[in-house]
Amino acid sequence: MKRTGWFRRHISIALVGLLTAAALGWQAAPKPTDLQRGLLYADLWVQTSGEYVACCLQTYQMATEQVKRDLDQYRAGESKLPPEQRGKPPAVVMDLDETVLDNGTFQTYLYDTGQNYSDDRWTKFMFEHWASVRLLPGAKEFIERAESLGITVIYITNREESLREVTIKTLKQWGVNTEGMDDASGLRLMVQNDGESIKKPRRDLARAKYNVLAYFGDQLGDFSDEFAPNHDNTPEARRETAYEYRQLWGTRWFVLPNPMYGQFQQVLRGEPEHYLRRAEK
């Protein structure tokens, strides 16, 4: 067997773990696109490395301890707060894709079928293969611990309204509490509306009703719009801004690793609108 054939066959197996392209019902292309070939080792790191598992578990372990301390402190000092700040129930705000949900099989699908990302391909895959989506290591344990403490978990995602039902099914299959997520006017699952990917308005809605103890995401835009991939932001500027917020990382802001796609790619390309929805999911 030629080495290239061996490599491709074993890489494909590694990418999908126990699942195969045949089992999921797609036809492999003769070769991946140049973009997907370039992303291969990023995909493999996420889907096969123990280091990735350790990073996720570390983040959620630190977050569990920090959020518990902050909750105790809030409850102990609530009576001393200004009246408008009292009585707000505690909450945490979480992104979904690559923060709670692991979409590794979609990355495999793009590689195997010789395609790059598009909104239509993403939506079609989610409708047809939602059951293949897994949870990040440590995510469920954190969510369950937070809810056991009386903390509401709010999800802010750039999935569109058409994927609400599929998203609920995906979470429910892993035993994640989905109560209230079917209410489009509620705050439990806030999706992207009218193509608006900026999350600040939705974060503001959460802060208006809840005392938000922590934020979780895989893109820096999940935490502040200062990181948005616009023409004023360069890789250097975003790195400097990350340093400016050093006091929040690991205390109120918790970031999960995602080298596969994201805003960093848009900024490197100098194409703020390119892959915007994909980058901010």
Say yes or no: domain 56-102+130-280 is CATH 3.40.50.1000: yes
Write out the two tokens for 56: 């996720």
Interior/surface letters 77-108, b for 16+ CB within 10 angstroms, e for the rest: eeeeeeeeeeebebbbbbbbbbbbbbbbbbbb
pTM beyond 0.75: the answer is: yes
Report which of residues 233 and 159 the model is more confident about.
159
Digit-coded pLDDT (tens) for 34-46: 999 999 999 999 9
Looking at 115-119, 237-241, 272-276, which range is the least confident one? 272-276
> 256 phi and psi, to 5 degrees?
-100, 150
Domains of the chain: which residue ranges? 56-102+130-280
